[in-house]
Amino acid sequence: MNKVLGGVVIFLSLFLFSASPVSASDVHGEKKEKFSAGDLIIEHITDNHDWHLFGHLSIPLPVIIYKPGNGLQVFSSSRFEHGQASYNGFHLDAKNHIVAEDNGKFYDLSITKNVASLLIVIVLMLVVFISIAKRYSENKNSAPKGLQSWIEPIIVFVRDEVAKSSIGEKKYEKYMPFLLTVFFFILFLNLLGLIPLAPGGANVTGNIGITMSLALLTFIITTISANRNYWHHIIAMPGVPVWVLFLLTPIEILGMFLRPFVLMIRLFANMLAGHIIALSFFSLIFIFGEINQWLGMGVSVVTLIFTIFMTMLELLVAFLQAYVFTMLSAIYFGAAVEEHTNHEHPPHAEISEHIEEAAMV
Amino acid sequence: MELVQPAFGLVFWMLVSFLIVLFILGKFAWKPILKALKERETSIEDALRSADKAREAMENLKADNEKLLNEARAERERMLREARDTKDAIINEAKGKATTEANRLLQMAREAINNEKQAAITELKNQVATLSIEIAEKILREQLKDSAKQKELAEKYLKEVKLN
């Protein structure tokens, strides 16, 4: 009976979410260990040195370590034997982190699961957009076709509704490559994360390192392109009494860093939450299944419905978060290059708008 | 806590790969795509504008044609009327001329007839006079054949002529 249950779960998991629940069924079925939903979820949403496919099958990924004085080392993560063995003075700890046995300083540049996902998305993006661009330059002034007609409305939307409306007709062009790249990068990663099978399923946009890098780029571009007007508003808000400035200027300076920070947290938290919720629904099957296998099967029907609903929602969130990140980046760029002071719309109004939006999302 | 600690390697690869993608796509994808989109938009806008213009020109042309047609119609009407008028005038003139000519000829004929008549009368008168004289001469000669009668006549005239 357990086998049947496992088969059903494998079948469902192929359609619904990442391959991790399968490993849970192994845990449940073979090793007779107590099922831990927390471990399952943490294993899925954190980065890994190998890519778990199903059952005991996983792809080892290359480990790249740079240790000052020791040079660059490249070897397969299978050398660690899932934390059982150490190699060249390194081993994996319980959280799948590489640690040096001599406690020396080293840089871990390994191609982890997330980095591999990143590379897949990059190849995907290059193939998709360069082939589309080719069609654009080959068939000028003709109606879009195939993939091009799916992508074109999004490009036009980012250009007209995001860039033009937030940055302005005159200056938006300079920021278009970044905005488009960020939008599709996040979108592709989000969508890929929804696919349960490899090469999908990795929780990349729900990783703080990824969102931090993206927010950092937005922050750098904002700061580099900021004009006098922007700095003037931050350091000494025009039309405000001097004594208020003592209060306002620190807030503005803090706000300058807070904006990219919020950008980072929002994408991270949204995507992470989506993965955790979907996995939690799955874990319910096993939790109830441990109590009684019939109960587990009954719950799996309910869970199935919930998971379908969540996947639909996540599909929406995938687009929404890509849009929100791009939109807010564009608004920050727009604020940085705004020419004359518009007293009717002081920057705080804009920020409070963002906060409302953030609360909403 | 592990969740909110960015991993150095991931951030490194993320930044490197993202910047490479940004560069490559910016150069080989976004630039041509955005350019093509803009070109297409301008060409569509141009096409719409020129279609508008063509329609306007068409309307103008139509109006022009209508005007021209109306003018032509009016012209034809006018020409017909003029032709009719001219025809009438010519006929009338011809009629008038013919009448006067006829009258003139008639007058001339009448005058000629009159003249001839006068001449004929005059000649007739002369002939009558000559004939009368000849007749009178013959009568006189007959009557005055014997001298007695001549004497009687002379006496008679003498009687008439009273010596007063």
Write out pLDDT tens, residues A293-339.
Answer: 888 888 888 888 888 888 898 999 999 999 999 999 999 999 888 87
Whether A171 maps to a domain, the answer reads: yes
CB A224 within 8 A of CB A266: no
Whether A294 maps to a domain, the answer reads: yes
Q: Note the pLDDT tens digit of each residue in A201-249.
A: 788 888 899 999 999 999 999 999 888 888 888 888 887 888 888 888 8
Q: What is the DSSP letter of A340?
A: S
Whether A36 maps to a domain, the answer reads: no
Interface of A with B in 135-174 (CB under 8 A): 136-137, 140-141, 152, 155-156, 159, 173
Last-in-domain residue among A44, A75, A110: A110
Same domain, A252 and A217: yes
pLDDT at A242: 82
pTM for the full predicted model: 0.71
Same domain, A121 and A102: no
Interface contact flag, B15 A213, Cβ < 8 Å: yes
Same domain, A292 and A151: yes
Whether A28 maps to a domain, the answer reads: no
d(CA A26, CA A48): 19
Q: How far is B35 from chain A (nearest CA, A)?
A: 9
Q: Which helix (H) or strand (E) holds A52?
A: strand A50-54
% of chain A surpassing 90 pLDDT? 24
Q: Which helix (H) or strand (E) holds A346?
A: none
Whether A91 maps to a domain, the answer reads: yes
Higher pLDDT, A37 or B130: B130
Same domain, A178 and A280: yes
Whether A355 maps to a domain, the answer reads: yes
User: Please, which residues have CB within 8 angstroms of residue A73's CB and are 6 or more apart in sequence?
Assistant: A63, A64, A65, A66, A67, A88
Best of A118, A179, A218 to substitute, by most chain B Cβ atoms within 10 angstroms, is: A118
The domains of chain B are located at 19-163
Domain of residue A84, residue span: 62-110
d(CA A266, CA A208): 10
Chain B hits for A141, Cβ within 8 Å: 39-40, 43
- Tally of residues, chain B: 164
pLDDT at B59: 94
Q: How far is B72 from chain A (nearest CA, A)?
A: 46
Whether A244 maps to a domain, the answer reads: yes
Structurally, chain A folds into a number of domains equal to 2
- Tally of residues, chain A: 361
d(CA A335, CA A337): 6
Q: Among A6-20, B88-102, B150-164, name the most confident range.
A: B88-102
CB A187 within 8 A of CB A318: yes
Last-in-domain residue among A110, A144, A166: A110
Same domain, A133 and A163: yes
Last-in-domain residue among A110, A125, A142: A110
Same domain, A81 and A186: no
Q: What count of Cα atoms within 13 Å lies in the side-chain half-sphere of residue A242? A: 0
Q: Note the pLDDT tens digit of each residue in B113-161.
A: 999 999 999 999 999 999 999 999 898 888 778 888 888 888 888 888 8
% of chain A surpassing 70 pLDDT? 84
Q: What is the DSSP letter of A98?
A: E
